[in-house]
C-alpha cells in the first residue's frame, strides 16, 4: 500500500507471522520428529495447540477480509510460507474455512505456482 495508514495492517500481520506463525509451527515440526516419547508428547501437544490457535486467529481475520491487510501484500506471502505446510502441522484446512479459501486462492495464482515449482538443491 502507498499510504502509511494502508501499511499498518501489512506490518501487523507480518509481525504476527514472524512472532507466532513461523516459530510455533516450526517448534511443532521439531517435536513431531523427536523419538523420546515423553519429550515428544509434551512438545507436540504444546506447539500443536498453539499452531491451531494461530490458525484460528487467521481464520477469524479472513472472515472479515479477502487478505490479511485488506489487499494482497507481503504479509499474505509470509503467512503462506508456513500455511502451505498445514499437512505437516497436522491441520486440516477444512476446519478453518476462511484460511482454506485464502490458501486456495493464493496457491492458484500463476506466480505462486511457479514459486512452488522451484527445486531446491
pLDDT in tens, 87-108: 988 899 999 999 999 999 999 9
- Cα 91 to the center of its chain, rounded Å: 11
CATH topology of domain 4-113: Glutathione S-transferase Yfyf (Class Pi); Chain A, domain 2 (1.20.1050)
Query: With a threshold of 0.95, does the pTM exceed it?
Result: no
| DSSP letter, residue 94 | G
The closest of 110, 86, 113 to 99, measured between CA atoms, is: 86
The closest of 58, 54, 67 to 105, measured between CA atoms, is: 67
- Assigned C-alpha cell, 92: 486440516
| DSSP letter, residue 35 | -
> Which residues is 69 bridged to in the sheet?
71
> Which residues is 71 bridged to in the sheet?
69
23-42 tens-digit pLDDT = 777 777 777 777 778 777 88
Amino acid at each position: 500500500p502507498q499510504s502509511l495508514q494502508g501499511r499498518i495492517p501489512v506490518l501487523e500481520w507480518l509481525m504476527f507471522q514472524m512472532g507466532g506463525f513461523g516459530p510455533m509451527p516450526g517448534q511443532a515440526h521439531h517435536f513431531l520428529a523427536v523419538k523420546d516419547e515423553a519429550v515428544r508428547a509434551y512438545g507436540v501437544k504444546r506447539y500443536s495447540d498453539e499452531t491451531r490457535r494461530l490458525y484460528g486467529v487467521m481464520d477469524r481475520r479472513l472472515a472479515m477480509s479477502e487478505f490479511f491487510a485488506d489487499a494482497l501484500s507481503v504479509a499474505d506471502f509470509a503467512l503462506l510460507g508456513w500455511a502451505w505446510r498445514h499437512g505437516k502441522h497436522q491441520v486440516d484446512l477444512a476446519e478453518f474455512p476462511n484460511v482454506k479459501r485464502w490458501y486456495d486462492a493464493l496457491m492458484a495464482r500463476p506466480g505462486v505456482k511457479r514459486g512452488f515449482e522451484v527445486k531446491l538443491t
